[in-house]
Amino acid sequence: MKERNPPGSGLRIRGEFFRSDPVTCARGLIGAEIHWKGCGGVIVETEAYSVRDDPACHTFSRPSSRAFVAGHPPGTAYVYLNYGVHWLLNFLVKGGEEDGFVLIRALEPTRGLAAMRRRRGVEARKKLCSGPGKLTQAFGIDRAQHGYDFTKGDSLRLVLGGAIPRVATGPRIGISKAVDLPWRFVLAGSDCLSAPL
DNA sequence: GATGCGATTCAC
DNA sequence: TGAATCGCATCA
């Protein structure tokens, strides 16, 4: 495989990036890279969750989630346990037109494949990070990262020099409320998605 | 495609 | 104390 985009390359994503609104951030993160614990991956699937008028957002029914929004800067990781089994990674969006979260749903692995395979217990590259619970397991992300400000490090980067990612949009999946909002974003043609769009 | 798994938060 | 929950792996 061709070596590309080592850690530290590309444009660092700063806090201002997360000071707009969840939909803008979710779309804008497609094609960006996450580097963490020696592993790297291109974000190929995200979902937006809005504090305002979005029953599927944690803040809608969870006071602790609203307190988290109030008490942390934009770009902070919001990590929670789903179904008692899987850690899910979100980034806090606040201070702009609309507050909310971006859920990272799938990555295309680029670095640290051996460590990912070790943590995941599977070999196929396409299956290492093709789901929100899979990617946190592959990257070793859990409650220890809840509240960590990812814009303070080199972990989030926009890749320069490549083709502008073609982003497709569809309804969010895995939820029971507000299912009609087209707030799921994917890198068109990626074979590492959690499900077809 | 159906089913078992099982932590955390919040409401009752 | 109980209900609900923003998946995944393992079956068939």
Tokens encoding A71: 């008490």
A62 touches strand B (CB under 7 A): yes
What separation in angstroms does the CA of A27 have from each of A23, A30, A34, A45, A102? Answer: 6, 6, 15, 9, 9
Please state whether strand B lies within 7 Å of residue A65 at its CB atom. yes
Using CA atoms in the order A104, A160, A28, A190, what is the torsion angle rounded to 10 degrees? -50
User: Does the CB of A47 fall within 7 Å of any strand C atom?
Assistant: yes
The neighbour count for residue A116, using CB atoms within 10 Å, is 26
pLDDT (tens place) for every residue of chain A, 197 residues total: 555 677 777 899 999 999 999 999 999 999 999 999 999 999 999 999 999 989 999 999 899 999 999 999 999 999 999 998 999 999 999 999 999 999 999 999 999 999 999 999 999 999 999 999 999 999 999 999 999 999 998 999 998 777 889 999 999 998 888 888 999 999 999 999 999 98
In angstroms, the CA of A69 and the C1' of B11 are apart by: 22
The bases of strand B with some atom under 7 A from any protein CB are 5-11
